[in-house]
Amino acid sequence: MASSPAAAQHLHDLARLRRVRDRIDREYAQPLDDPFEADDDHALQRV
């Protein structure tokens, strides 16, 4: 698949970036745990 070390590193970097992006998406989708954070978030939405 990868014909050179640079190409292999590029594919490795792309796979790592996809994993990081997926993790960020999963964590962003989680509800807030802290009631104070949730209250602050609600207050910001009212502004």
Please give the average per-residue pLDDT across 19-34, as a whole number: 85
Identify which has the larger pLDDT, 41 or 25.
Answer: 25
Q: Which pLDDT band, with edges at 50, 70 and 90, does 10 fall under? A: very high
Cα distance between residue 30 and residue 16, in whole Å: 22
Residue 2 near residue 8, CB atoms below 8 Å? yes
Entry pTM: 0.54
Q: Which pLDDT band, with edges at 50, 70 and 90, does 27 fall under? A: confident
Residue 11 near residue 1, CB atoms below 8 Å? yes
Whether pLDDT at 33 is above 70: no
Tokens 């996809």, located at residue: 18
Q: Output the six-digit token pair for 7.
A: 């190409």
Cα distance between residue 10 and residue 6, in whole Å: 6
